[in-house]
Amino acid sequence: MKSFTPDSSIASDVIPSANYGDRAKGRQPDMILLHYTGMPDVEGAIARLCTTGTEVSAHYIVLEDGRIVQCVPEARRAWHAGASSWAGEEDINSCSIGIEIVNRGHDWGYPDYPLRQIAAVIALCRGIMLRRKVPSHRVLAHSDVAPSRKKDPGEKFPWHSLANSGVGHWVQPAPIVRGDTLKLGIIGEEVRDLQHALAKYGYGVPITGRYDGPTMEVVTAFQRHFRPARVDGIADHSTLVTLHALLSSLPAEAVINPPVAAAP
């Protein structure tokens, strides 16, 4: 790709990626998907996102010092989400704008996100939300749309700070207390209710009434984003209360009506 004029006025540079395409059926982006780069250094991350043959890219990269690089125009389809789904939609690349945040990630020590970097992410997201009319509940983590594969941007990412600036959907997580839990191997209506609530929010989870591996992965992803104090894939009281508070605070048109499967 030749150089282009950045969509965001706060992008400090353009490093065109070779990896992009057209959005399917003219789909306009109405989601922002946040990632971490998950690589030891920024040079390697930029090379991977921009070099022909890697088949990976993103619209933006936010560096640790707050500088923002644009790699793919917002009108084009970047290749950042991979196999993923949200609210019944599976071509997440066509409906989203991908932002890679430079951070080594879980495999390389997972440092805290610098305040300057988070301020840049907030400013970038606010601009995209205004330009593209992205609703707050459609600012998501890579782990939300690909819970079986991804952890980013992870439990250290300060979603609450973004929400305080009008970016993303958030409620104060319910306190962690002792009590009954739903966990791997449990079967019953309480599990079906949990799966149904997660699917209503947008997560791709089959409603089977069985607390199986995929259900645990989705609960883990939910906790990374919305209840990061304990990420263990066990649906405790705090997880359930936080989930229902999020659902209650969604606009009515944003709630998904998932198909109901037969009882186990």
pTM: 0.97
Distances from the Cα of 255 to the Cαs of 187, 194, 246, in angstroms? 25, 15, 10
**What is the C-alpha to C-alpha distance for residues 55 and 192, in angstroms, rounded to an integer?**
38
Fill in the DSSP letter of residue 235: B
What domains can you pick out in the chain, each with its CATH number?
13-164 (3.40.80.10), 189-254 (1.10.101.10)
- Measure the CA–CA gap between 114 and 124, rounded to whole angstroms: 16
Residues in a beta bridge with 51: none
pLDDT of 263: 53
Q: Are 246 and 226 in contact (CB under 8 A)?
A: yes
Q: What pLDDT is attached to residue 178?
A: 93
Cα–Cα dist 66/48, whole Å: 20
Tens digit of each residue's pLDDT, the chain (264 residues):
789 999 999 999 999 999 999 999 999 999 999 999 999 999 999 999 999 999 999 999 999 999 999 999 999 999 999 999 999 999 999 999 999 999 999 999 999 999 999 999 999 999 999 999 999 999 999 999 999 999 999 999 999 999 999 999 999 999 999 999 999 999 999 999 999 999 999 999 999 999 999 999 999 999 999 999 999 999 999 999 999 999 999 999 999 998 765 555
- Residue 258, pLDDT score: 86
Q: How high is the pLDDT of residue 260?
A: 65
Tokens 């599976």 map to which residue? 90
Cis preceding-peptide flag for 153 (omega within 30 of 0) = yes
Single out the catalytic residue among 64, 74, 90, 100: 100
pLDDT at residue 259, rounded to an integer: 75
Q: Is 90 a catalytic residue?
A: no
Q: Check: CB of residue 49 under 8 Å from CB of residue 71.
A: yes
Q: CA 228, CA 88: separation in Å to the nearest integer?
A: 25
3-state SS assignment for residue 34: strand
